[in-house]
Amino acid sequence: AIAQGGHALNSFRLYNRNERISGEARDLLLTLDEWLNAEVASLPPRAGGVVIGIDLGGSASMTAAAFYWPETGRLETLGWFPSMPSLLNRGATDGVGNRYVEMQDAGELDTLGDKTVPVSDWLAAVMRHVQGETVTAMLADRYKSSELGEAMDRAGVKVPVIWRGFGFRDGGEDVERFRRAVFDGRVRATPSLLMRSALADAVCLRDPAGNAKLAKARSKGRIDAASAAVIAVAEGARQTARPAREARFAWA
Percentage with pLDDT > 70 across the chain:
92
Q: How confident is the model at residue 252 (pLDDT cuts 50, 70, 90)?
A: very low
Q: How far apart are CA 44 and CA 222, in angstroms?
A: 27
239: left (phi over 0), alpha (psi -120 to 50) or beta: alpha
Answer yes or no: is pLDDT of 34 > 80.
yes
Provide CB contacts within 8 A for 249, sequence distance 6+: none
Answer yes or no: is pLDDT of 21 > 90.
no
Answer yes or no: is pLDDT of 157 > 50.
yes
Q: How far apart are CA 232 and CA 187, in angstroms?
A: 11
Q: What is the mean pLDDT of residues 228-234?
A: 96
State pLDDT tens for residues 173-224: 999 999 999 999 999 999 999 999 999 999 888 777 778 889 888 888 899 9
Answer yes or no: is pLDDT of 247 > 50.
no
State pLDDT tens for residues 74-117: 999 999 999 988 999 999 999 899 999 999 999 999 999 888 89
Q: How confident is the model at residue 246 (pLDDT cuts 50, 70, 90)?
A: low
CB 96: neighbour CB atoms within 10 A?
A: 19
Is beta strand 202-206 parallel, antiparallel or unpaired with respect to 212-216? antiparallel
